[in-house]
Amino acid sequence: MQLTIELIITFIATVAFGIIFSVPKRALLIGGAIGMVTWGILQGGLHFEVSPVVSTAIASLSAATTSHFLAKRIRIPVTALAIPGILPLVPGSRAYFTMLSFVEGDYLTGLEFGVQTMLQAGAIASGLVFALAIFSFGKGIGHRYEPNR
């Protein structure tokens, strides 16, 4: 029940974020749905006691993969779907507590929260990168050697 309420709120909040970023109208509800699934996966991971960073990475990967797939289908730039999709993962709460601890002079707690924030942000980025790697086989730029020459 709690999860259902959270999912509905995530949907509304993600669609609202889509409006803030002025996402095209036909992509608004899809972006909201992706955000909802993302939140569901994150909470599912936390429920089965996967660490928050890993859950975030998995949720981010699934959000980015879905947005890449759907963006090809309805022919819009991936960002229009991916940005609302990963927004529920943004570690806003931890970032705030980092700042709060530093303001209150509690540097150790601040560092702890700060490291958690950085790791979670890194997890979001890694999910995006993996999805990108999946969807850009054969294009993109080479690296180090030229084996096909």
Q: Which residues bind another protein (CB under 8 A)?
A: 6, 9-10, 12-13, 15-17, 19-25, 27, 39, 75-77, 79-80, 82-83, 86-88, 90, 92-93, 95-97, 99-100, 102-103, 125, 128-129, 132-133, 136, 140-141
In the complex with another protein, the residue whose CB is nearer, 54 or 133, is 133
| Nearer of residues 54 and 96 to another protein, judged by Cβ | 96
| Minimum CB distance to another protein, residue 22 (Å) | 4
Closest distance of CB 39 from another protein, Å: 7
**How far is Cα 90 from Cα 92, in angstroms, rounded to an integer?**
6
Cα distance between residue 88 and residue 11, in whole Å: 10
Query: CA 56 to CA 101: how far, in whole Å?
Result: 23
Q: How far is the CB of 50 from another protein (least distance, A)?
A: 19
